[in-house]
Each structure stands twice: as structure tokens, then as C-alpha cells.
């Protein structure tokens, strides 16, 4: 069935997008009025302060990276944004407690943003003199040159904590294993499903998929941002309901759901 | 920019209007490419800044910094797009370094993942609790399913491996993928509403 003014096959996608975006906006506005939903604890995010504190006690630096993706790609760009939001929190904390922060960067266009985030965090904490621009390290634009450089950095600096939140590919295991070898506390997170098993087995805490997107909201404790998370729950309920309904209908031999999603 | 990209994907507003929106979006994307090209220079400056300071201060392993700076300068000069003086990607020095240093080093880094997988598996495959035991059992069954020696000895290993991949693995991956899509939409809404500011000067306040 063709819907006027809608590209054939994309109607349900558009409808779902509008519903989920609408729910997110609604819960965000609701949170503005003081009605904030409780959120579940995420051990990996709770462990950030512990990891930074551990580094200070050991007199070692904190390494925090935001993945190797740029901001351009539709699927991996948001992961970089999520990684930078976490970096913002980590920079704020390290500047407050006096830990040295090293940020390995792969994408040249992200380097000025990362440098700006860290510099601002140090200025806000009143420790502008502690900010070292050379600690925001552009390693290489090439994936494995970045990886070998990051491995070398971990081996030389022996950080107390290695926080990796963002989009990683084949280098994920190389970095996580090296971090484990030098004995640093590791918190990882990615929405790259092919890399999740590596992070899960090689790091102490792993944020799985969407948890990295909610990390910024969780860490800032901002009511509006927390409210927006409730919008994704609406989408989750719809997804589960449609999955169960679809499985039942297809099992009964009907093609109704397949036709429905083809609108 | 966002709407110019999204609208033609979902809505059919006539070929002319859709094409015009696509053209405007492409025009802005070209701007982005120019900005990215300029950003590469920022990367070079950042590398020089760090390694020049290492050499200047005679920091630990400063000799390696000299190697980085020399190779950087060599590749930069040899790769300059000046065909008249035989420079550029076809330059012999550039090609020699690319084929004999860059390519084998990159290949080596990729291939050492096999060793990292072994050491990670050694640590992960320990039956410390129920979850770890499940990982151990599933991992062992997958190894047995993919090793021809074992499937020849007992063919059902292949069926079990295929079932693990097709049912529990696919179901979990789909759940994670749906969660990621929902999280991405929420992040996009927060960014468009100006609430997500963590990546903007550490909060933007």
C-alpha cells in the first residue's frame, strides 16, 4: 500500500522515528517541570570516580579516549559524541583531584574539540595552569598506527586507569589487553557489536551499546537529559511488543507483519 | 542540514524538490570536506608540538621522537602534489617508504590480534561463576564446531555451533542493535534540542 508523499517502504520507519522523538521530547519537557524518572545504576559509569581516584593514589595518569571514529558518520559519529561527553566528565574530575589526563586522538577534526573540552574543564576547576596541551595527543589518522602508538603510550606511562568509550574496531582488543597487562583499571564502552565481546572479556567494566549514549546524562545528573532516557523506553516497549507480535503472527503463517513493515 | 538529509529519505516531495534538497545537502558536505582537509594540518601541528617538545626537553625515549619527526618531514615533502619536480604519491622515496615500511607495519599490527585473542581467551575462559561457565561452554562448542577434525569425528558439533550462532547469538545481537538505535535517536534529540552539551566546551555553561 502506497502512502502519499512517503517513500515506499519507509513509512513505518518514519512513524517510529516520530513517535520515539516525540516521546523523548515529551519526557524531557516533563523533567523540566520536576518529574524526573528514576534510572538504574550502571556499574561501569559508577566506577569512573573509583578509577580516577585509584590513579591519584598510585600517582599514575588517567588515559581517556573517545574511539577512532570521526563526527561525520551517521552510526559511529554519535559514539564519538558520547565518548566526548564522558571525556568532559573525566577531565572535570581529574582536574579537581589533580590527576594527569592523557587523551589519545585519532581523528584530526576531533582533536581541537577534545583539547577544548579538557582545557575548559581545567579552567572551570580553577586549575588552568595544570592543563597541558601536549597531553591531548594526536597519534595518527591510520587505524593501526594509532593502535601501536596507543599501546606504546600505555606501556610507557603505565596509567592507573584507561577509559575507552566510543567507536572502536580491530584495535579494541589490542588496547584492552595491553591495558590489562600494565595493570590499569579499565572501563570500556562501545556500540560496535563486533567489538563488544573483546571489551567484555578484557576490561573491568564494559558499557554495552546504548549505555554509552546514556552515560553523559547519567554523569551530569541533568534532569532534562535523564528525562530524555525515558523516551527511549517508549521505543523499547514498542520494539518488544512488535517483536513478540511479529514472532507470533509469522509462526501462525501470516504475512501481515511483513507487509506492514513494507509500507 | 539534518532535515535536508533526512527529508528526502522518508518523504517523496516530487523529484525536483527532493533533488534540490539533495544538492544543497551535498553542497554543505563539500564544505565539511574542506574543513576536514584543513583539520589534517592541525593533526600534523599537534604531532610536531608533542615530539619537538620531547626532543627539546630530552624526555624519556626522545630519540624515537626524532625518528617520528624525520619520517614525518620526509613523507610530507615526498608526498607533496608537485608532479613537475617528481614529487607526489608516485615519488620513488614515498613509494619505497609506503611499500616497505607502512604496509608491512600495518599488516603486522593487524595480524598480532591473533595473539591478543589467545591471551584474552585464556583469561576469559575460566569457570568462576555461572555466566563465565556459560561463556566457556559456548566458546568450547564454537571451537569444536569450527575445527574440521572435531566435526568429522562427531558431525552434530556443526549443528550445535550453527544453532548457537543463529539463535542465542542473533537474538542477543538484535536486542543490542535495537537498543543502540534507540539510544542514537535519544542522543540526536538531545543534541538538536541543545541539551547534550558535554562535547561542547565541557558542557557549554
Q: Residues of A numbered 70-129 whose beta carbons fall under 8 angstroms of chain B's beta carbons: which are they?
A: 70, 72, 75, 78, 81-82, 84-86, 88-89, 91-92, 105, 108-109, 111-113, 116-118, 120-121, 124
User: CB neighbours of B41 closer than 8 A, spacing ≥ 6?
Assistant: A108
- Provide the ipTM: 0.89
Distance CA A219, CA B33 (A): 33
Same domain membership, residue B95 and residue B138: no
CA A161 vs CA A62, A122, A191, A202, B47: distances in Å: 5, 19, 21, 14, 24
Has residue B204 got a pLDDT over 70?
no
Residue B202 confidence (pLDDT): 53
Q: Residues of B numbered 95-134 whose beta carbons fall under 8 angstroms of chain A's beta carbons: which are they?
A: 102, 105-106, 109-110, 112-113, 116-117, 119-121, 123-124
Has residue B8 got a pLDDT over 90?
no
Q: Are A99 and A57 spatial neighbours (Cβ–Cβ below 8 Å)?
A: no
Confidence of residue B205 (pLDDT cuts 50, 70, 90): very low
Count of domains in chain B? Answer: 2
Same domain membership, residue B185 and residue B94: no
A20 touches chain B (CB under 8 A): yes
Q: Pairing state of beta strands A161-167 and A62-67? A: parallel
Topology (CATH) of A43-220: Rossmann fold (3.40.50)
Q: Is residue B120, in this structure, part of any structural domain at all?
A: no
Q: Residues of B numbered 2-21 whose beta carbons fall under 8 angstroms of chain A's beta carbons: which are they?
A: 9-13
Contact flag B189-A228 (C-beta cutoff 8 Å) = yes
Which residues in chain A touch residue B47, judged by CB atoms under 8 angstroms apart? Answer: 138
User: CB neighbours of A256 closer than 8 A, spacing ≥ 6?
Assistant: A249
Residue range(s) occupied by CATH 3.40.50 in chain A = 43-220
Confidence of residue B175 (pLDDT cuts 50, 70, 90): very high
Same domain membership, residue B160 and residue B106: no
Residue A136 confidence (pLDDT): 96
Q: Bigger pLDDT: B181 or B123? A: B181
Q: B79-116 pLDDT, tens per residue?
A: 999 988 999 989 999 999 999 999 999 999 999 999 99
Residue B194 belongs to domain spanning:
128-203
Same domain membership, residue B24 and residue B76: yes
Q: Is residue B118, in this structure, part of any structural domain at all?
A: no
Q: What is the pLDDT along chain A (263 residues), one digit of tens a residue?
A: 678 888 988 999 999 999 999 999 999 999 988 888 888 889 999 999 999 999 999 999 999 999 999 988 888 999 999 999 999 999 999 999 999 999 999 999 999 999 999 999 999 999 999 999 999 999 999 999 999 999 999 999 999 999 999 999 999 999 999 999 999 999 999 999 999 999 999 999 999 999 999 998 888 888 888 888 888 899 999 999 999 999 999 999 999 988 888 88
Residue B203 confidence (pLDDT): 52
Least confident of A36-40, A90-94, B40-44, B156-160: A36-40
Q: B51-61 pLDDT, tens per residue?
A: 999 999 998 88
Same domain membership, residue B143 and residue B104: no
CA A192 vs CA A110, A142, B76, B138: distances in Å: 19, 19, 33, 21
Residue B191 confidence (pLDDT): 86
Q: Is residue B21, in this structure, part of any structural domain at all?
A: yes
pTM: 0.91
Same domain membership, residue B96 and residue B8: yes
Distance CA A43, CA B38 (A): 40
Residue A61 confidence (pLDDT): 98
Which residues in chain A touch residue B120, judged by CB atoms under 8 angstroms apart? Answer: 173, 176-177, 198, 201-202
Which residues in chain B touch residue A13, judged by CB atoms under 8 angstroms apart? Answer: 10
Same domain membership, residue B199 and residue B161: yes
Domain boundary among B58, B86, B113: B113
A64 touches chain B (CB under 8 A): no
Amino acid at each position: 500500500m502506497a502512502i502519499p508523499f512517503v517513500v515506499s517502504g519507509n513509512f513505518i520507519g518514519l512513524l517510529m522515528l516520530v513517535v520515539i522523538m516525540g516521546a523523548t521530547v515529551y519526557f524531557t519537557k516533563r523533567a523540566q517541570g520536576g518529574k524526573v524518572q528514576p534510572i538504574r545504576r550502571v556499574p561501569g559509569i559508577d566506577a569512573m570516580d573509583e578509577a580516577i581516584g585509584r590513579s591519584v593514589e598510585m600517582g599514575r595518569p588517567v588515559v581517556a579516549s573517545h574511539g577512532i571514529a570521526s563526527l561525520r558518520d551517521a552510526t559511529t559519529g554519535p559514539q564519538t559524541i558520547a565518548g566526548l561527553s564522558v571525556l568532559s566528565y573525566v577531565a572535570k574530575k581529574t582536574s579537581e583531584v589533580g590527576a594527569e589526563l592523557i587523551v589519545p586522538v585519532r581523528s584530526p577534526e576531533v582533536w581541537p574539540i577534545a583539547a577544548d573540552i579538557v582545557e575548559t574543564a581545567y579552567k572551570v576547576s580553577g586549575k588552568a595552569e595544570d592543563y597541558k596541551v601536549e597531553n591531548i595527543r594526536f597519534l595518527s589518522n591510520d587505524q593501526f598506527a594509532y593502535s601501536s602508538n596507543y599501546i606504546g603510550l600505555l606501556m610507557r606511562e603505565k596509567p592507573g586507569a584507561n577509559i575507552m568509550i566510543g567507536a572502536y574496531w580491530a584495535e579494541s582488543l589490542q588496547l584492552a589487553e595491553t591495558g590489562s597487562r600494565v595493570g590499569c583499571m579499565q572501563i570500556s564502552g562501545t556500540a560496535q557489536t563486533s567489538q563488544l565481546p573483546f571489551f567484555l572479556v578484557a576490561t573491568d567494566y564494559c558499557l554495552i551499546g546504548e549505555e554509552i549514549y546514556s552515560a553523559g546524562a547519567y554523569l551530569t545528573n541533568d534532569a532534562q537529559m535523564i528525562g530524555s532516557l525515558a523516551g527511549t523506553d517508549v521505543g523499547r516497549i514498542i520494539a518488544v511488543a512488535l517483536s513478540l507480535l511479529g514472532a507470533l503472527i509469522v509462526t501462525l503463517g501470516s504475512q501481515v507483519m511483513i507487509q506492514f513493515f513494507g509500507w | 542540514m539534518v532535515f535536508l538529509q533526512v527529508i528526502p529519505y522518508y518523504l517523496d516531495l516530487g523529484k525536483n524538490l527532493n533533488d534540490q534538497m539533495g544538492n544543497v545537502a551535498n553542497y554543505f558536505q563539500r564544505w565539511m570536506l574542506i574543513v576536514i582537509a584543513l583539520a589534517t594540518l592541525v593533526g600534523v601541528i599537534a604531532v610536531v608540538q608533542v615530539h619537538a617538545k620531547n626532543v627539546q626537553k630530552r624526555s624519556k625515549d626522545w630519540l624515537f621522537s626524532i625518528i617520528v619527526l624525520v619520517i614525518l618531514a620526509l613523507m610530507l615533502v615526498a608526498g607533496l602534489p608537485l608532479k613537475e619536480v617528481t614529487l607526489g604519491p608516485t615519488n620513488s622515496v614515498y613509494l619505497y617508504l609506503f611499500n616497505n615500511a607502512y604496509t608491512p607495519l600495518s599488516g603486522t599490527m593487524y595480524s598480532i590480534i591473533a595473539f591478543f585473542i589467545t591471551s584474552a581467551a585464556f583469561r576469559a575462559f575460566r569457570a568462576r561463576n555461572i555466566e563465565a561457565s556459560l561463556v566457556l561452554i559456548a566458546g568450547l562448542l564454537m571451537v569444536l564446531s569450527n575445527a574440521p577434525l572435531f566435526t568429522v569425528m562427531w558431525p552434530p558439533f556443526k549443528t550445535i555451533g550453527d544453532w548457537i550462532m543463529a539463535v542465542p547469538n542473533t537474538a542477543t545481537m538484535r536486542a543490542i542493535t535495537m537498543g543502540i538505535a534507540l539510544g542514537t535517536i535519544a542522543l540526536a534529540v538531545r543534541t538538536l534540542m541543545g541539551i547534550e552539551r558535554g562535547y561542547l566546551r565541557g558542557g557549554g555553561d
